[in-house]
A and B are shown apart, each in its own frame.
Chain A
């Protein structure tokens, strides 16, 4: 499409399902997921890329859902926290978050889980410092960071010992 337009037909795969919609080009990916597809696990916080609540995976890599337009996800594979939960990909993280009480209000949790899963893929045995650094892009306004780091560290250690 080389002429500029204000609406666009998009076709993408979300959590394994093919989705086709006509959307305004100014609609961001997070709002598309929430409002068009009713996948409200992706949260919208700051809307300028700082808080991390809208973190989703596009073509396998985590991105800010508020800093990408749905139009740009045309042809892409998108995974949200619902998809990772249903596929049981983040099952251990979810259990560890419950065990260590790593969520309070829960607003940041979906984004934190998305980021934590990406961290453990890239760095299977991170130090607490590395966990903190990786999660520096995810705000928890309940300030429950200690328990979040505990939970991620516990999963990393469990995975490391089960793979031995």
Chain B
């Protein structure tokens, strides 16, 4: 189908965008890459009265590396992350996730901010943001506030963003020495939504697992940080035996629901298999 009727506004600045969002509140949606919102509108699942198109706000796009962070503007497109030497060097987890996000034509439009602000539980970048302890920078009429990824994703298509607020950037801390990352996604066909997916970041320094953050996507109502798995890995030798012993802990971390193709038990099983594979391939794991 076609999108239902709406009114369109194309602000030239963040201040203008916020004024529009504040004015129209729940009637308004932000149009970033549009690769999820427009299909939802065409399906008539979403019917915003006002679309605030932020695509002409140049200040919202771009990747900046500081001494402590990689700051990625909300409007930075997947293709720009995919082609960025800074991302490949400093955030290899994000680089590894890129090829799994839909298809090239979609990645040419889709944005980091759009993916995170939508809060699709099967999306890759929210999982990466959570694994990497990113902080989201949100702007509203009263100014900016920062929200840790752990507090940002609240449920199915639900985030901590309030009416009238605009996500303007995500700040990823530069990984510490000894930290490694891994990414895996199982889909029925390349680019499809994940049946199960995992983004892992943590330390294997000195041959021991430490601070392992395994985030699962496509298996819950939001990206899920596996706390029991992390505890089982903490301080243990980074080897296959440790991984094998820790994987059953995922029973306490994940409670997937069945989808059209896979039962809950299948999804849990696949998540464990995938976690085992991704963990065992991490640099520093014997």
Contacts and interface: CB of A to CB of B under 8 A. Distances in A.
Contact of A62 (B6, B108, B191): B108
B105 A64 contact: yes
Contacts of A118: 104-105
Contact of A49 (B16, B31, B38, B53): B38
Interface stretch (A13-21, A68-76, A101-109, A153-161): A68-76
Contacts of B19: 2
A4 B108 contact: no
Contacts of B53: 71-72
Contacts of A72: 31, 34, 53, 55
Contacts of B252: none
Contacts, number: 110
B274 to A, nearest CB: 19
Interface stretch (B7-15, B66-74, B177-185, B236-244): B7-15
Nearest to A122: B104
Contacts of B20: 2, 4
A86 interface: no
Contacts of B5: 6, 26
Interface residues of B, number: 40
B9 A52 contact: no
Contacts of B31: 72
Interface string B256-276: 000000000000000000000
Contact of B3 (A5, A28, A119, A138): A28
Contact of B4 (A26, A28, A47): A26
Given A47-B1, A47-B42, A64-B35, A1 B10 contact: yes
Interface in B1-53: 1-12, 16, 19-20, 24, 31, 34-35, 38-39, 42-43, 50-53
B185 to A, nearest CB: 13
Contacts of B9: 1-5
B123 to A, nearest CB: 14
Q: What band does the interface of chain A fall in when counting residues whose beta carbon is under 8 Å from B? A: 35 or more
A136 B7 contact: no
A124 interface: no
23 contacts: A2-B10, A2-B16, A4-B20, A4-B52, A5-B7, A8-B8, A25-B7, A26-B6, A28-B38, A31-B2, A47-B1, A52-B105, A64-B109, A66-B42, A67-B39, A69-B38, A71-B8, A71-B53, A72-B55, A118-B105, A119-B104, A136-B103, A136-B189
Interface of B: 1-12, 16, 19-20, 24, 31, 34-35, 38-39, 42-43, 50-53, 55, 79, 99, 102-106, 108-109, 189-191
Given A2-B11, A138-B103, 11 more contacts: A5-B8, A6-B7, A6-B8, A26-B4, A47-B42, A49-B39, A62-B104, A64-B105, A64-B106, A67-B106, A137-B191
